[in-house]
Amino acid sequence: MTTDTDLLLTEIHPAGYAVLTMNRPGAMNALSKALMNALADTVDALGARPEVRVIILTGAGRAFTAGLDLKEIGAGQGSLGGTDGRPLNDPVAAIARFPGPVIGAINGAAVTGGFELALACDVLLASRPARFADTHAR
C-alpha cells in the first residue's frame, strides 16, 4: 500500500515495514510546520497498525533534512505553534512513541533539527554523503 501527500511519501510493505520519505528536496527537506505535523501524525497512525512493525525514515533528494524551515519562520509565520490552530505535533516524540524500531536512512545532510530527528531513530544507516551537524550554538 502506498499513500502520498505532497510533503511525506508513505509506502507500507506487506513484509511489515513502512518507508516514510520527507519530500521537500528543493528545500533540503526542511521541516516546515506542515511537514512536522504530517510526520508526527503518520508515525502515530502507523503505530496503531499492528501489521507495521518497523518504520524506515529517509529524505528525498540530497538531504535527510536540513532542520527547521527557517524561511517559514523568517517570513513571519509566527512561533512554532501549529498551522491550523492546533498545537504542533512533535515528530521526535512520535518516533519515541512508536512501538517498534525506527530506522533512519540518512542519505545526506542531517542538520540541527534534522540531527535531532535522526537521533530519535533507534538505528541509523548512513550513506557516504551523509553529514551530521548540530548548529544550535551558531
Question: pLDDT: is 10 or 1 the higher one?
Answer: 10
The string of DSSP letters for the chain reads -EEE-SSEEEEEETTTEEEEEE--GGGTT-B-HHHHHHHHHHHHHHHT-TT--EEEEEESTTEEE-SB-HHHHHTT--SSS-SSSSPPP-HHHHHHH-SS-EEEEE-SEEETHHHHHHHHSSEEEE-TT-EEE--TT-
Q: How many angstroms separate the CA atoms of 82 and 37, rounded?
A: 8
Handedness of CA 96, 38, 43, 101 (dihedral sign): negative
Residue 129 has pLDDT above 60, yes or no: yes
pLDDT value of position 2: 52
Please compute the mean of the pLDDT values over residues 99-125 and round it to a whole number. Answer: 97
Region 2-133: CATH code: 3.90.226.10
pLDDT value of position 72: 86
pLDDT value of position 130: 96
Question: How confident is the model over 58-95, as pLDDT tens digits?
Answer: 999 999 999 998 888 777 655 555 445 555 689 999 99
Confidence of residue 113 (pLDDT cuts 50, 70, 90): very high
Handedness of CA 89, 23, 111, 32 (dihedral sign): negative
pLDDT value of position 117: 97
Residue 4 has pLDDT above 90, yes or no: no
pLDDT value of position 26: 95
* Structural contact between residues 60 and 9, judged by C-beta atoms closer than 8 angstroms: yes
Question: How confident is the model over 11-45, as pLDDT tens digits?
Answer: 999 999 999 999 999 999 999 999 999 999 999 99
Domains of the chain, by residue range, sit at 2-133
Q: How many angstroms separate the CA atoms of 37 and 22, rounded?
A: 12
Please compute the mean of the pLDDT values over residues 40-58 and round it to a whole number. Answer: 98
